[in-house]
Amino acid sequence: MPIHVSPLNIVDHSQGIWDHFIDCARQTQFLLLGEMHGAIENPKILITLLPKLHTQIRLRFLGVEWEAKYQEAIDRYILHSQTGSGSVIPCIEDGRVSLEHHQLLDWLADFNRSLEREEQIQVICFDGLPAGNDHFWNARDRGMYHQFMEEYRLRSRLHTSPALLIAGRLHMQMASFMMSPLLDQEKTEVECIPFGSYFLKDTSVPQEPLRLNLKYASGAIHNRHVKEVGDPELLGLFNDRFVDAECLLVKAEAKGDFDFVIRQAHPVTIGT
């Protein structure tokens, strides 16, 4: 059975971090949130952030690394109150879509129900190419960017409405990096040009995106199978001052970045 998806208790690691985060968010259109697929805390943090950002920066879009062919069905459910459920999109073994993500869509449909159309939060699915073969990594990320921006420009009034996008951490990098293709037995490294870097190259995007990172101090995720995750240094942040915190908001070392540090990750439930 899936775990009930409810908001996380996010606590500032130092005084004023949330206010600083909101100030930075107000200065850009796009917030890029990098995750490790397969943690229940990923949809939980969206349920936590979306209503706050809807109120504080007038957020109107959630971009997700889901196949674009499910866009119409998701729109019908979360925007038009048609019968159905969050299961309009099937689960994916890598943890990007799970039974807990179905609960996220149920929550979003309920959240939107009391709002006028122009105030509702819309979902944009921006994955259009199959995953799995890293020889196609660059083509996929380039395609994801064009898919997102095309849909965003069709939907966004004056092309200025704030959007929160969530995808795998590597896709949200802002600069190219070298990586060995998974299917290359010789482990030859190739230059990977990530989704996030296209926001910097696009002259129609006036402000640099704000980059956010989901980090996991302990626990496990489900990405094709259950895997343990954790970092003792991150776990050490949860000292006596933060005994009740499920998540800490930390100003990252990288310029402009913020980290959401999860105390304990739990693997998502993959249904059939």
Residue 1: inside a domain: no
> Are 127 and 138 spatial neighbours (Cβ–Cβ below 8 Å)?
no
Verdict on whether the full-model pTM lies above 0.85:
yes
Q: Does residue 116 surpass a pLDDT of 80?
A: yes
pLDDT computed for residue 185 by the predictor = 55
pLDDT in tens, 147-172: 999 999 999 877 789 999 999 999 99
- How high does pLDDT run on average in the chain? 91
pLDDT band at 83 (very low <50, low <70, confident <90, very high): low
pLDDT in tens, 194-244: 999 999 999 999 899 999 999 999 999 999 999 999 999 999 999 888 988
Residue 2: inside a domain: no
Residue 176: inside a domain: yes
Q: What CATH number is given to the structural domain containing 208?
A: 3.40.50
Residue 5: inside a domain: no
Radius of gyration of the chain (CA): 18
Whole domain around residue 143: which residue ranges? 10-262
pLDDT in tens, 21-71: 999 999 999 999 999 999 999 999 999 999 999 999 999 999 999 999 999
Residue 272: inside a domain: no
Residue 200: inside a domain: yes
pLDDT computed for residue 253 by the predictor = 78
Residue 43: inside a domain: yes
Structural domains counted in the chain:
1
